[in-house]
Structures are given as C-alpha cells and as structure tokens.
Amino acid sequence: MNNENIIEVAGLCKTYPGADRPAVDGINLAVGEGSFFGLLGPNGAGKTTFLSMLAGLLKPSSGKLLIAGLDIQGHLDVIKQRIGLVPQDIALYPTLTARENLAFFGSMLGLSGSRLDARIEECLDIADLNNFAGSRVEIFSGGLKRRLSLVIGLIHNPDILFLDEPTVGIDPQSRHFIYNSLRRMNADGMTIVYTSHYMEEVEQLCNDIAIIDHGRIIARGGVEELLSQHEYNIIRVRTADEIPAALQEKIMALPYIQESRLNKNGLTIKSNTPQQALLELVSILQQNNISIISLSAGMDNLEQVFLALTGTTLRE
C-alpha cells in the first residue's frame, strides 16, 4: 500500500435543508492510496451521505475534500474520470442486455469506439458474464445483477472504487465471487472504499476501518487495532434468569462501572478497572440468586466493537 493519501477530508459537513443537526458533522479523514477502506455505521449515522460526497453526488455544506490531490469543488469533471461508484440500489436498465448496459454507461463516462468495446469485453470477463452478455437484465438473478452493477462501476477503469452495500440480498456464491474480485483489484493497486452492514465482510476484506455515528468518526484503525483498543474494558455476562431493572441500577451505582446495558438475559458493562468491576458484579448477582451462564471480557470480533461503540438500540 502506498503511503500517499488519495482521499483527504478536513472539517467536512453536510446539513440537509430543514434538518436540526448535520448528517455529516466535521469529519477529518485521510485514506492512503491502495487501501481497502471500510466505513461502518448504524442506520442514519451519516455513512451514505459521506460516501455520496466522496463520490461527487452531494455538495458539502462546508469543509475540504480532496481526491488525488484535487479539490472536488473545482475539479469534479476530472475527478469523476478517476472514481467509480457501485450503489446499494441496483441502477440497471432491465430491458437492455448486459452488454448494452455496459455500452450505455461506458459512453456516459466518455468511452467510445474500440476502447469502449475492449472495456466491455474485459468487464464481462471480470464479472464472468460472457454467457449472459446478450441476455436482458430483467431475467437476471440478484447475484447476476450485483455482478453487472460492480463492473459498470469499473467500466472506465477508475483508480478509486466506492461501494455502498454491494452484497445485499445475494447468494453466498455471488458474494464469494465479489469478495475475490475486489481482493484482486485491490492487490493490483485500486483504492476501495466499502460500506457494509455485514461485519464479517469488513473483517475479511478491509485493512483500514472507520466507524461513523451521528455524523462523526468515533473509531479508526485496522481490525486488530480496534479489538485491542477495547480489549479489557468491556465485560459481558449471560445469565439463566432475567436481570431486574432495579438490580441494574444497583450495578450502575458501582464506582468501577462507567456504562451498563441490560439485555433480556445478560448484561454488558464498560469499566476502566474491569477486574474490580468483575468481582463486584459476580458478588451482586450471586447475592440476588442470579445464575451466571458465562462471563467474557474484551472483544472477539468487529461486531462486538461496533455494538459497544454505537449501542444496541434499533435505528430507523
């Protein structure tokens, strides 16, 4: 991975008309050239708005955004030749064939003649769609549509590829195919910015991750780095019996505990002194005849880090 930054963001904000708070609130971020960068966040956290600004689809309310050293405000036409976008909502023409869709979108991006023809064949190869090149998209499965959508984002051979939930609703084989295709492209030097609700995808694919919530970056690093940052201060307890709300208040009153979250049959607590907190917690549960099924400390995977930082409350 190149040490130079291909994406640089400073104080980036976006507030929609009539909104009471920014959707993106002063983000500072740099992404190195050749990175496989993962962007995670709950619904409404601001990740799609942020990605849309990076891809030039939305104009920032304020702040600075550079792509390959160029300010997006004054060089959008040049930047669009260097970036590709694979949106969450599949945007294909159903009555056109796979080849015709590629030809249309390629021409929209300035390709023509033999150059366009060559890229169409290359993209059909990349997506393994040669046998479906002459078939109308309306008969395609979800996996075939996702594969075609991926290579439409690649038709002009961009340096940076933005992907917004590219594997939603597809079969495991198509998901595996997309994973391997993205790994190959990244290994060949393409910078990839990837959003997903599937934590295991990001763990497998991304070497750099940011978690966004309420329009701000709240954590940043590789998987191991994010896990190590929360290695000792999170304790999870599973119980055979439901923990009464009144007992949670007693637990929260302990001096060693900063946060506590009650589940139906368990408890997650955050503490800067987890050893003392664990001793007190076990004692209180035993005194109240609450049977403990399991105890664990630290983080085992990215999903646990994500929930610890953003909470378990459902988002609209």
Contacts of residue 163, defined as CB under 8 A and 6 or more positions apart, other chains included, come to 85, 86, 150, 153, 182, 192, 193, 194, 195
pLDDT bracket for residue 1 (50, 70, 90)? very low
Please report how the helices 142-152 and 172-187 are oriented relative to each other, as an axis angle in degrees rounded to 10.
Answer: 20
Report the amino acid identity of residue 114. S
pTM for this structure? 0.79
Name the strand (E) or helix (H) holding 209.
strand 208-213
Name the strand (E) or helix (H) holding 83.
strand 83-86
Report the amino acid identity of residue 46. G
Give the chain's domains with CATH numbers: 34-52+76-227 (3.40.50.300), 232-298 (3.30.70.1510)
**Residue-wise pLDDT tens digits, 257-276:** 777 777 767 887 777 777 78
**Residue-wise pLDDT tens digits, 57-116:** 999 999 999 999 999 999 999 999 999 999 988 889 999 999 999 999 999 999 999 999
**Residue-wise pLDDT tens digits, 160-219:** 999 998 888 888 999 899 999 999 999 999 999 999 888 888 999 999 999 999 999 999
Contacts of residue 304, defined as CB under 8 A and 6 or more positions apart, other chains included, come to 230, 234
Task: Give the whole-angstrom CA distance, residue 235 versus residue 287.
Answer: 19
